[in-house]
């Protein structure tokens, strides 16, 4: 797979996300972790206990009328919505110009439902896998050998 230099690689599931930047030379993938977010620290920031907006982005949370009634599903929904809001902010502010989105099947579906058009336009590749537990160097190697 070819990923542009400075492109972001977002790896997510329903409870955690790692956001990387490709710092590799042309034809290489070398991922540098920009930030890591999980349900716990995302919820703290959303509730105002920590005002470090860079964890996800600078935008607030918007509740959907279609939120799940199951508490665990609701937490995952809220987390994914915060992640989308943060990534949309990053795109809007010019921090991210190209993105590869790697997410578990359920998370990817949930993200697609609420993704603003400006963010969706920056996604050059989606991979329907859960790689959140993979180290950056392992993920780099896997992506280098993956065929589109």
Domains and CATH numbers, the chain: 8-144 (3.30.420.60)
> Is residue 42 helix, strand or coil?
helix
pLDDT at 69: 67
Q: Hey, what are 68's tokens?
A: 């799940």
Higher pLDDT, 59 or 81: 81
pLDDT, tens digit, 9 for 90 and up, residues 65-115 = 455 567 778 888 899 999 999 999 999 999 999 999 999 999 999 899 889
Full-model pTM: 0.80
Which residue is associated with the tokens 């790697």?
Answer: 102
Query: Band of the pLDDT at 51, cuts 50, 70, 90?
Result: very low
Strand order in the sheet with 8-12: 31-38, 16-22, 8-12, 99-103, 123-128
Provide the 8-state DSSP code for 145: T
pLDDT tens-place string over residues 13-24: 989 999 999 999
Q: Which residue has the higher pLDDT, 128 or 27?
A: 128
Distance CA 81, CA 5 (A): 27
What secondary structure letter does DSSP report for 98?
-
């Amino acid at each position: 797979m070819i990923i542009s230099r400075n492109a972001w690689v977002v790896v997510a599931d329903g409870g955690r996300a790692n956001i990387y930047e490709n710092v590799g030379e042309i034809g290489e993938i070398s991922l540098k972790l920009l930030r890591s977010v999980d349900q716990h620290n995302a919820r703290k920031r959303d509730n105002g206990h920590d005002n470090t907006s860079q964890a996800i982005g600078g935008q607030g949370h918007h509740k959907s009328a279609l939120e799940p009634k199951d508490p665990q599903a609701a937490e995952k929904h809220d987390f994914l919505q915060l992640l989308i809001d943060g990534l949309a902010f990053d795109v809007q502010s010019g921090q991210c110009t190209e993105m590869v989105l790697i997410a578990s099947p359920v998370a990817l579906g949930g993200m697609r439902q609420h993704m603003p058009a400006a963010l969706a336009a920056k996604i050059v590749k989606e991979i329907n896998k859960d790689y959140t537990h993979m180290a950056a160097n392992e993920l780099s190697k896997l992506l280098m050998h993956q065929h589109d």
